[in-house]
Structure formats: C-alpha cells, structure tokens
Amino acid sequence: MSRPSLLSCTLLLIFTCTCVSPAGAAPPADELSSAAAKWDAAINNADFDALLPLYAADARLMPPGAQPVTGPLAIRNFFAGRGRSVRDHKVELLDVLPMGNYAYTTSHFTATLVVNEKAAPISGSTVRLLERQPDGQWKIKSHIFVKE
C-alpha cells in the first residue's frame, strides 16, 4: 500500500472512531497546545531530556526516510543525534480530534535547518496520537512528521 493510501485509510479509521467517542471526552485544546509548546522548547533549547516525559512508554516516532523509533529514550536519542541543526521550531495545531482517552492532532511546523553553517527555512506537517495517562497528562503515543 502506498503512503498516501495508508495515510488515507488511517485518517478514515480515526474519523470513524471520533463519531463514537464518549461525550465530554474532548481534550482541552489549550492542554495539547501547551504540550506542543513544551516539545518546541525542548528542541529549540537542545534540551533533549525534556522530550522524555512527553512520550508514552510505548511511543513510536516515524520520521521521513528513516526507520521507526520506539520508546522515549530512543526518540530522545534520535533528536539528540541531530544536535542543534533544527532551530526556531514552532508547531501550530490545526486539528484536535478527541477519541475517549486518545486525541489525534494535526499540525503545521516551521523551523530553521542549519547544515554546514548554512541556515534554510523548513516546514511540514505533523500527525500525533496522544494518550491520556492515569494522572491526566497527555503523552505522545505515535508521532509522524513530513517536510514539505
């Protein structure tokens, strides 16, 4: 199955699931915006340890052109391996779709990519599935991003 077809099937499944979500289970958009801001701050400050509490224990990162990475420590190491090459990262939430103890978000990001001392603007899209933890926190369970 091609990537667009797989993404289309996933989105259809997610939209179908949102139709049967319990009433009142919607995550506050400000909570998820705050989580996105913490993620941006961790990347922008090269504080990769700050990423650890943002991901669920079984979280999976699916970066473009690379193998999936599973678990907070492996995800932290993936981003730490990039060092300070990504700067001024900013996530803008576009959609928040509640599904009981889960929330599906889409967003647009902008950043500056610095390679060999040359800076270039980049942008793209992010899809995240977040899971509400027993303590009420939202943690990233699945994280996919693509550059435009």
The CA distance from 136 to 31, in Å, is: 10
Beta bridge pairs of residue 127: 106, 144
Helix (H, G, I), strand (E, B) or coil at 84: coil
The CA distance from 13 to 111, in Å, is: 30
Name the residue with higher pLDDT: 18 or 125. 125
In the predicted model, is pLDDT for residue 15 greater than 70? no
pLDDT of residue 4: 52
Mean pLDDT of the 87-110 span: 94
Q: Domains for the chain: give ranges and CATH numbers.
A: 29-147 (3.10.450.50)
The CA distance from 17 to 43, in Å, is: 32
Beta bridge pairs of residue 121: 112
Q: Enter the tokens of residue 91.
A: 């996530």
- Phi-psi group of 132: left, alpha or beta (phi > 0 → left; psi -120 to 50 → alpha; rest → beta): beta
**pLDDT tens for residues 40-90?**
999 999 999 999 999 999 999 999 999 999 999 999 999 999 889 999 999
pLDDT of residue 26: 46
Q: How far is CA 128 from CA 93, 116, 120, 146, in A?
A: 10, 30, 25, 12
